[in-house]
Amino acid sequence: MSRPALNPDSWLRRPAHLSWLADEGLRLLPFARGAKVAQGFAALDAQGRLPDGAIAELIHTTRMNHCFALAHIQGIAGHGGLVDHGLAALRGALWDEEHGGWFADATRSGGKSAYLHAFVALAASSARVAGRPDAQALLDDAIGIIERHFWSEEEGALRESFNRDWSDEEAYRGANSNMHGVEAFLALADVTGNALWLQRALRIAERLIHRHAAACGHVVIEHFDAHWQAQPEYNAERRADPFRPYGSTPGHAFEWARLLLHLEAALTQAGLAAPDWLLVDAKGLFASACRHAWQADGAPGLVYSLDWNQQPVVRARLHWVHAEAVAAAAALLQRSGEAIYEQWYRQFWDFTAAHFIDLHGGSWHHELDENNRPAARIWAGKPDLYHAYQALLLPPLALAPSLATALAADVTRR
Question: Hey, which bits of 186-332 come out as E strands?
Answer: 223-224, 305-306, 312-314, 317-318
Q: CA quadruple 254, 328, 257, 126: dihedral positive or negative?
A: negative
pLDDT at position 287: 98
Q: What is the pLDDT of residue 414?
A: 44
pLDDT of residue 412: 61
Active site residue 252: yes
Determine the Cα–Cα distance for residues 113 and 132; give it in Å rounded to an integer. Answer: 26
pTM of the model: 0.98
Could you tell me which CATH class the domain 11-409 is placed in? mainly alpha
- Alpha-carbon dihedral of residues 67, 28, 256, 371, nearest 10 degrees? 150
- Active-site residue among 117, 212, 218, 387? 387
pLDDT for the residue numbered 410? 81
The ranges of the chain with pLDDT < 50 are 414
Residue 360: burial class (beta carbons within 10 Å; 0-12, 13-18, 19+): exposed
The sign of the dihedral angle between the CA atoms of 15, 63, 352, 400 is positive
Are the C-beta atoms of 301 and 322 separated by less than 8 Å? yes
CA distance 83 to 94: 15
CB 13 within 8 A of CB 6: yes
**In sequence order, what DSSP letters do the residues of 106-132 get, joined into one string?**
TT--S-EEHHHHHHHHHHHHHHHHTT-
Taking only the tens place, the pLDDT of each residue in 88-119 is: 999 999 999 999 999 999 999 999 999 999 99
If one counts every other C-beta atom within 10 angstroms of the C-beta of residue 343, the result is 12
Catalytic annotation on 79?
no
The pLDDT score that the predictor gives to residue 413 is 54
Cβ-Cβ contacts under 8 Å for 286 (sequence gap 6 or more): 253, 254, 257, 328, 329, 332, 341, 344
User: pLDDT tens, 24-34?
Assistant: 999 999 999 99
Instruction: Decide: 401 and 190 in contact? Cβ < 8 Å.
Output: yes
**3-class secondary structure per residue, 31-78:** HHHCCEECCEECCCCCCCCCCCCCCCEHHHHHHHHHHHHHHHHHCCCC
Which residues, 6+ apart, have CB-to-CB distance to 349 below 8 Å?
11, 326
Q: Give dist(CA 295, CA 313) in Å, integer.
A: 13
> What pLDDT was estimated at residue 107?
97
CA–CA gap between residue 161 and residue 173 (Å, rounded): 9
Write down the catalytic residue from 223, 252, 292, 366: 252
Distance CA 331, CA 328 (A): 5
How many beta carbons lie within 10 A of that of residue 171, not counting itself? 9
